[in-house]
Chains A and B, each alone.
Chain A
Amino acid sequence: MKSQSAEKKYLPDMPQKEVEELNASVKAASERIMADNIERMKKTDPNRPAAMQYFDEVSNFFGMRQKEIQEAKAQGRKVIGYLCVFAPIELILAADAIPVRVNSGWYDTSKLGDRIVPVEVCPVIRSTIGAKMIDLSPYLELSDAVISTLTCDGQTKLSEILSDAKQMWIMTPPRVKDSAQSLHLWKEEIKAIKTQIEKLTGNKITPKKLKEAIETMQKATKAFRRLQDLRKGNPVIMGRDAMLVNQMSMWDDIKRWTKKTEALCDELEKRAEKNEWACPPDTPRVIVTGTPMFWPDNWKLPTLIEEATPQGILVGDELCSSDRVLYDPVGIDEWTMDDMINGIAERYLMASTCPCFTSKDGNEDRVNWLLNKVKDTKAQGVIYYVIRGCMLYAMEYSRVKKALDKVDIPVYYLDTEYTREDVGQMKTRVEAFLEMLSARVDF
């Protein structure tokens, strides 16, 4: 951590009183929204799985998980925040540190970010800056270092801005995935991060520790895939509930999360046997792709879909904030240190479907992944969600639409901001889209 006296390059010197006041008001608003979101999820599915209770608890940013991490820190464990799913979680776990994702889903703090960066900048970035300005995010505050991957211009400058307050570890992912030199460069980045983690924690990442960490994440991925497989049939769980489970893997203790997810799957399997569904089986099935959505405020679109008339159900997504998080495990042939590092480098690069990539064939992985997902989940439509200022996703829309047109899957481009004020207009569009999906089927 930098000393308080160091001159800040970006962050303003706000009076302590203003910081405290804003922190208190945004925190209070956030607690209301978290509670409201959960209430609404319960209302949508009155027979909501009992196992969801645990995830509801963990989802409170200012609740038990924050205290746990504080206590662990007091006992000398280090906390490593990350801003992107490229961060190699296995290495953090192998050094006995705690990984936490620190992107912001708070709408209110994006207005604060406007004081430093232009409003044209993606609100996820602005909101993360705003959260830092008023020390709002418990996970960011508790982080001893933050891994930032430079996937877009916003992330690049965000790393600089946050370096005023936090020790930033910057990783540069190659922009071309399918070339030998890219993988080589990325491996060097992984190795550099490993050294940083060892230095910060004072713990050597041994082959034994790394093997354990890889296995821990493999188990988590297995539990996650089991949940995803269950969503392929009749709606056994609402999409928002599944999304909450997915996101909590980025904050919770991963071993406990795995157990709880397995328990949820057990419950869901029993329900499926009894034909107990979360909503009518003929509810239009939708997939969301595009800009990440973060708990709690950025729950706007999933809520609209599942509370709309006609109702829709989110059967999956292609977002780096949920379904992409645990989709692929690190694959290992030999448990040597070198092989494990190779495995990690390959998993975080090759399995990524981030639109930051390009290649001579175009970024085919994302489109193929999406087409497979549509087929697997029997989705009837795709909502392409773009937050204004998110260029990479906005620019990839036309080619994704072409690919979906070919298989006759309707896609709707929905752009929005970090604001609650446009819910009315968004509702009109989402409902028209769902109406279209049902009209296509049963006319």
Chain B
Amino acid sequence: MVTTVGIDMGIQTVKVVVLKDRQVVARAKGFSGFEPTKAAEEVFVQALDAAKVAREEVSLVLSTGSGMDMAPYSNGTVSMMGADARAGVFLIPTARTVVDVGAEEARAVKCDERGIMMDFVVNERCAAGAGTFIEAMARALEVKMEEMGPLSLKAERASPINASCVIFGESDVVSLIHRQESKPEIARAVFDAMADRISSMVHRLGINPDVALVGGVAKDVGFIASLKRKLGLEILVPEYPEFVGALGAALTATSRAKGASK
């Protein structure tokens, strides 16, 4: 039996997945904060405790995410796109495109049936197509971030805003507020603008169904609805989408521990 751990050092949260022979035995999550390494150590311990696994039993630890080089106990790294492809296809075997929307970055990965990435596109250095955008716009609307999704579903029509950047997006939202648009409509406009950006990323790769949506934003019903409309496709969302990066790293660790080079 091979026990491996995957650590996803995200911009906002750290996620850890413990695998025993490709079966998830524990997941844990915590805020990255100012000391991501320390935060990750805590989450790592928490996950091992939950899995009832002693540290010596772990054959290999691999890290991924934008802070992958800061991960504790890590024996190596896997790119975020590689981890997405592997875990996306593991969870949804028919998926050939995995879209990952995190706090400050979004990416789309094209993959084959083995979970090997064949191509990828990244939302270059801009948070307008990612979770932080929802957060900033929720602030402007004076609602909780979790309320944005359900609120947007109540909208009767779409009003356009320009998500070229968080700052411009916010000033667009402010002008909608001044035009006395309703909150549900503005919330929907926010998700539509994000989905616009993400769908053009997917189009750059070529539409390659099935499309799986993962990452923290994949839990947002508002965003899922907008992306579905934009792509004109069913969007498949696995359970625990925010753990997909960590799972991909852990799965890669299992392969490497068993002797494969990748």
- Chain A: residues with CB nearer than 8 A to chain B? 309, 410, 412-413, 415, 422, 424-425, 428-429, 431-433, 435-436, 438-440, 442-443
Please determine whether B262 and A428 come into contact, CB atoms closer than 8 angstroms. Answer: no
Contact assessment for A439 and B66 in the assembled complex, using a CB-CB cutoff below 8 Å:
no
Query: Quick one: given A440-B116, A442-B261, are A428 and B66 in contact (CB under 8 Å)?
Result: yes
- Nearest B-chain residue to A430, judged by Cβ: B79
Smallest CB separation, B183 vs chain A (Å):
34
Name the residue on A nearest B86 (C-beta).
Answer: A439
Q: How far is the CA of A440 from the CA of B114 in the complex (A)?
A: 11
Partner of A309, one of B77, B80, B114, B117: B77
A422 to B66, CA, bound (A): 13
B114 proximity list for chain A (CB < 8 A) = 443
Q: A436-B117, A440-B118 are in contact. Are A428 and B261 (CB under 8 A)?
A: no
Q: Which residues of B contact A309 (CB under 8 A)?
A: 77
Decide: A431 near B262, CB < 8 A? Known: A439-B117, A440-B116. no
Q: A439 contacts which of B119, B121, B124, B262 (Cβ < 8 Å)?
A: B262
Alpha-carbon distance between A422 and B78 when the two chains are bound, in angstroms: 20
B125 close to A425 (CB less than 8 A): yes
* Cβ B116 vs Cβ A439 within 8 A: yes
Q: How far in angstroms is the closest Cβ of chain A from B130?
A: 13
Q: Does B133 contact A (CB under 8 A)?
A: no
* Nearest Cβ on chain B to A174's Cβ, whole angstroms: 32
Assess whether B122 is in contact with A429, with CB atoms less than 8 Å apart.
Answer: yes
Minimum Cβ distance to chain B for residue A291 (Å): 15
With A432-B81, A439-B82 known to touch, is A410 a contact of B118 (CB < 8 Å)?
Answer: yes
User: Is there an interface contact between A432 and B118, defined as CB atoms closer than 8 Å?
Assistant: no
Closest A residue by C-beta to B116: A439
What is the distance, in angstroms, from B157's C-beta to the closest C-beta of chain A?
A: 33
Count of chain A to chain B residue pairs whose CB atoms are closer than 8 Å in the complex:
47
- Residues of chain B with a CB closer than 8 A to A443's CB: 114, 116, 262
C-alpha spacing A413/B261, complex, angstroms? 27
In angstroms, Cα B79 to Cα A431, docked, is 7
* Residue B120 is within 8 A (CB to CB) of chain A in the complex: yes
Which residues of B lie under 8 Å from residue A412 when comparing CB positions?
A: 120
Whether B119 pairs with A435 at a CB distance below 8 angstroms is no
Contacts of A435 on B, CB cut-off 8 Å? 78-79, 81-82, 117
Residues in B neighbouring A440, C-beta threshold 8 A: 116, 118
Q: Interface of B with A (CB < 8 Å)?
A: 66, 77-82, 114, 116-122, 124-125, 261-262
28 residue pairs A–B, Cβ–Cβ below 8 Å = A309-B77, A410-B119, A412-B120, A425-B124, A428-B79, A432-B80, A432-B81, A432-B82, A432-B120, A433-B120, A435-B78, A435-B79, A435-B81, A435-B82, A436-B81, A436-B82, A436-B119, A436-B120, A438-B262, A439-B82, A439-B117, A439-B262, A440-B116, A440-B118, A442-B261, A442-B262, A443-B114, A443-B116
**Measured between alpha carbons, how far is A422 from B105 in the docked complex, in Å?**
14
4 nearest A-B pairs in the assembled complex, by CB-CB distance: A432-B79, A432-B81, A435-B79, A439-B116
Residues of chain A within 8 A (CB-CB) of B119 are: 410, 436
Smallest CB–CB gap between A434 and chain B, Å? Answer: 9
The smallest beta-carbon distance between B32 and chain A, in angstroms, is 15
Q: In this complex, which of A410, A422, A424, A428 has the most chain B Cβ atoms within 10 angstroms of its Cβ?
A: A428
Nearest-neighbour CB distance to chain A for B83, whole angstroms, equals 10
5 additional A-B pairs beyond A425-B125, A435-B82, beta carbons within 8 Å, are A412-B120, A436-B116, A439-B116, A442-B262, A443-B114
Q: Which residue of the partner chain A has the closest CB to B206?
A: A405
A311 to chain B, nearest CB (A): 13
CA distance A429 to B119 in the complex (A): 11
How near does chain B come to A93, taking the closest CB pair, in angstroms? 43
Cα A439 to Cα B118 with chains together (Å)? 9
Residues of the A chain whose Cβ atoms lie less than 8 Å from the Cβ of B118? 410, 436, 440
Is B80's CB under 8 angstroms from A428's CB?
Answer: yes
B117 contact set on A, CB distance < 8 A: 432, 435-436, 439
Quote the shortest CB–CB distance from A70 to chain B (angstroms).
Answer: 42
A300 to chain B, nearest CB (A): 14
- Docked complex Cα distance between A415 and B80 (Å): 19
Give CA–CA (A424, B119) in the complex, Å.
Answer: 20
Which residues of chain B have C-beta atoms less than 8 A from A424's C-beta? 66
Q: Which of A309, A410, A412, A443 is packed against the most chain B CB atoms within 10 Å?
A: A443
With both chains docked as a complex, state the minimum distance between the C-beta of B82 and any C-beta of chain A, in angstroms: 5
Question: How many Å lie between the Cα of A435 and that of B111 in the bound state?
Answer: 13
A128, B122: Cα distance in complex, Å: 30
Assembly CA distance A359 to B35 (angstroms)? 56
Q: Which of A309, A432, A440 has the largest number of chain B CB atoms within 10 A?
A: A432
Complex Cα distance A283/B82, Å? 18
Q: Of all chain A residues, which has the CB nearest B119?
A: A410
Residue of B nearest to A432 (CB): B79
A415 to B122, CA, bound (A): 11
CB distance from A226 to the nearest CB of B (A): 35
B197 to chain A: closest CB distance in Å? 15
Could you tell me the distance between the alpha carbons of A431 and B120 in the complex, rounded to whole angstroms?
Answer: 12
Docked complex Cα distance between A431 and B78 (Å): 9
B81 and chain A: residue at smallest CB distance: A432
- For residue A408, which residue of chain B has the nearest CB? B118
Contacts of B66 in A (CB 8 A): 424, 428
Q: How far is the CB of B30 from chain A (nearest CB, A)?
A: 22
Question: With a CB–CB cut-off of 8 A, which chain B residues contact A422?
Answer: 125
Task: Chain A residues near B78: list those with CB within 8 A.
Answer: 435
Q: Which residues of A contact B124 (CB under 8 A)?
A: 415, 425
Q: Residues of A contacting B116 with CB < 8 Å?
A: 436, 439-440, 443
Please give, as numbers and ranges, the residues of chain B lying within 8 Å of A428 by CB-CB distance: 66, 79-80, 122
B195 to chain A, nearest CB (A): 21
A435 to B80, CA, bound (A): 11
Nearest chain B CB to A72 CB, angstrom units: 45
Closest residue of chain A to B82 (Cβ to Cβ) is A435
CB distance from B158 to the nearest CB of A (A): 28
Which single residue of chain B is at the shortest CB-CB distance from A438?
A: B262
